[in-house]
Amino acid sequence: MTPGSDDPAPRRRGRPSRGERAAGPDTRTRILEAARTEFAERGYDRTSVRGIAKAAEVDAALVHHYFGTKDEVFAAAVELSFEPALVIPSILEGPRQDLGERLARFFFGVWENPVTRAPVLAVLRSALTHEAAAKVLRGFVLRRLLERIAADLDVPDPTLRAELAASHMIGIAVLRYVVGAEPLASADPEKIIEMVAPTLQRYLTE
Amino acid sequence: MTPGSDDPAPRRRGRPSRGERAAGPDTRTRILEAARTEFAERGYDRTSVRGIAKAAEVDAALVHHYFGTKDEVFAAAVELSFEPALVIPSILEGPRQDLGERLARFFFGVWENPVTRAPVLAVLRSALTHEAAAKVLRGFVLRRLLERIAADLDVPDPTLRAELAASHMIGIAVLRYVVGAEPLASADPEKIIEMVAPTLQRYLTE
């Protein structure tokens, strides 16, 4: 669409040019949102920095400038939706006997919203087929999310238990949102939360 | 290796020729095992009937002759390892209070053995990225495995509950065998079975 968006990312003036649109705080977000969409729709393998740049209507050099390599764009795109620093306290706060339910609600909140579903779906798809993406999942989801939750638990093997809880939610995501297995795919989220919360609660507190 | 294995599958004499090795009961199995390995190693997208034929050292026409399309080879390769007619009775028989444990043991039996892990890993990877493979998963795993288990359960929403149990095992497979999330990836299977069995038991019987 924009002139130059098909260019093979020429390195003009040794620094990324401001491209066809002005760079600024919005440019970074626009690149991340384009990256999210590209990774989610095409998968890790078929997504390129140049494709992300094109979707964001910026020069590819600007993508490299803000984020570095494709893996680093991927990690940033994934992290954008979670904001673990905000999310984790809100899950851990509140009565301990409702922890499983709060975790289940957080999970369905992310997956039922198409905007936040896209990047997590991208991680899931990519992690299953590409070691680079699996590494992002290990590093981000596990280290940053689960270990911080585990640190707050008063059970033996807290990280293992947090992983078992996470594995259940990951599997539900696979069957409900990706595979579309019925009746799970069409079940009311409230009904699933009611059935799943005691499982999460048991892993995290008993 | 074998002469002609690089040929673009010429249709000789209108029927698949017996190729470089004699066709027979072993040929079908050899093709399926090659298909299993190819799908597991390359993923659904990058696996071709010709590649499977080459790995099995047969003519591609023979693969089509025995199985039909790529999707049909895929379905057969997946089914080979499960043999649901044998597996399901052995899970359902025995004391009902150990059903969760038997299911967990069956699951780890499949995944801990590299020979049977390959095809299920292929299904999982492929189902997340290709609708054709997702359809195989819905049709085979869900209809043939879960609904038959569900038919034997004495709980409300038996299929939904069987799917929740399956989702937990699928998620464990993702984190333990694909992503390699620690400590789950290195944990003793017996320890995980002990932790997971009560969850499966609750879904299936309570």
Distance CA(A168)–CA(A185), nearest Å, equals 15
Residue A153 in contact with residue A162, Cβ under 8 Å? yes
Residue with tokens 């009775």: B89
pLDDT tens digit string along A165-203?
Answer: 999 999 999 999 988 999 999 999 999 999 999 999 999
Tell me which long-range contacts B191-195 makes (C-beta under 8 A, separation of at least 24): B192/A164, B192/B104, B192/B108, B193/B101, B193/B104, B193/B105, B193/B108, B195/A160, B195/A161, B195/A164, B195/A203
ipTM at complex level:
0.78
- Spell out which chain A residues touch chain B, with contact meaning CB-CB distance below 8 angstroms: 43, 124-125, 127-129, 134, 137-138, 142, 157, 159-161, 163-164, 166-172, 174-176, 178-184, 187, 192, 195-196, 198-199, 202-203
pLDDT number for residue A36:
83
Contact list, A129 vs chain B (CB under 8 Å): 43, 125, 128-129
Inspect the interface and report whether the beta carbons of A170 and B166 lie closer than 8 Å: no
Inspect the interface and report whether the beta carbons of B184 and A196 lie closer than 8 Å: no
Scored b (16 or more CB within 10 A) or e, B80-90 reads bbbebeebbee
pLDDT tens digit string along A49-73?
Answer: 999 999 999 999 999 999 999 888 8
pLDDT number for residue A1:
41
Question: Between the CA of residue A5 and those of A11, A64, A68, B109, B180, what are the distances in Å?
Answer: 13, 15, 19, 52, 38
Inspect the interface and report whether the beta carbons of B174 and A171 lie closer than 8 Å: yes
The per-residue pLDDT of chain B, averaged, comes to 83
The first and second tokens of residue B140, run together, are: 């085979």
Q: Burial of B114 by CB count in 10 Å (0-12 exposed, 13-18 middle, 19+ buried)? A: exposed
Q: Give the closest residue to A77 by CA, choosing from A45, A113, A30, A114.
A: A30
pLDDT tens digit string along B132-143?
Answer: 778 877 876 677
pLDDT number for residue B57:
94
pLDDT number for residue A157:
94
pLDDT number for residue B1:
41
Q: Between B138, B178, B184, which is nearest A160 by CB? A: B184
Instruction: State the amino acid at position A65 in one-letter form.
Output: H
Name the residue with higher pLDDT: B206 or B191. B191
Q: Give the closest residue to B47 by CA, choosing from B55, B37, B39, B59.
A: B39
Does residue A122 sit in helix, strand or coil?
A: helix
pLDDT tens digit string along B81-114?
Answer: 666 667 788 888 889 999 999 999 999 998 998 8
CB–CB contacts below 8 A, A to B: 127
pLDDT number for residue A114:
84
Q: Between B128, B178, B181, which is nearest A163 by CB? A: B181
The per-residue pLDDT of chain A, averaged, comes to 83
Residue A44 in contact with residue A83, Cβ under 8 Å? no
The first and second tokens of residue A84, run together, are: 């673990």
Contact list, B138 vs chain A (CB under 8 Å): 179-182
Residue with tokens 């990774």: A39
Q: Which residues contact A28 (CB under 8 A, 6 or more apart)?
A: A66
Question: Between the CA of residue A118 and those of A42, A110, B22, B153, what are the distances in Å?
Answer: 11, 9, 50, 35
Distance CA(B45)–CA(B130), nearest Å, equals 8
Of all residues in chain B, the percent with pLDDT exceeding 90 is: 44
- Spell out which chain B residues touch chain A, with contact meaning CB-CB distance below 8 angstroms: 43, 124-125, 127-129, 134, 137-138, 142, 157, 159-161, 163-164, 166-172, 174-176, 178-184, 187, 192, 195-196, 198-199, 202-203
Answer yes or no: is pLDDT of B13 > 50.
no
pLDDT number for residue A108:
94
Residue with tokens 């699928």: B170
Neighbours of B156 (CB within 10 A): 7
Which of A130, A182, A184, A196 is most worth mutating to test chain B (most B CB atoms within 10 A of its CB)?
A184
Answer yes or no: is pLDDT of B9 > 50.
no
Confidence of residue B80 (pLDDT cuts 50, 70, 90): low
DSSP class of residue A93 equals S
Answer yes or no: is pLDDT of B177 > 80.
yes
A134-160: average pLDDT: 84
pLDDT tens digit string along A96-132?
Answer: 999 999 999 999 998 998 877 877 787 788 787 778 7
Q: Give the closest residue to A171 by CA, choosing from B160, B171, B166, B173.
A: B171
Residue with tokens 């140049």: A50
Of all residues in chain A, the percent with pLDDT exceeding 90 is: 44
Which of A163, A190, A195, A204 is most worth mutating to test chain B (most B CB atoms within 10 A of its CB)?
A163
Q: Burial of A39 by CB count in 10 Å (0-12 exposed, 13-18 middle, 19+ buried)? A: buried
Distance CA(B89)–CA(B92), nearest Å, equals 5
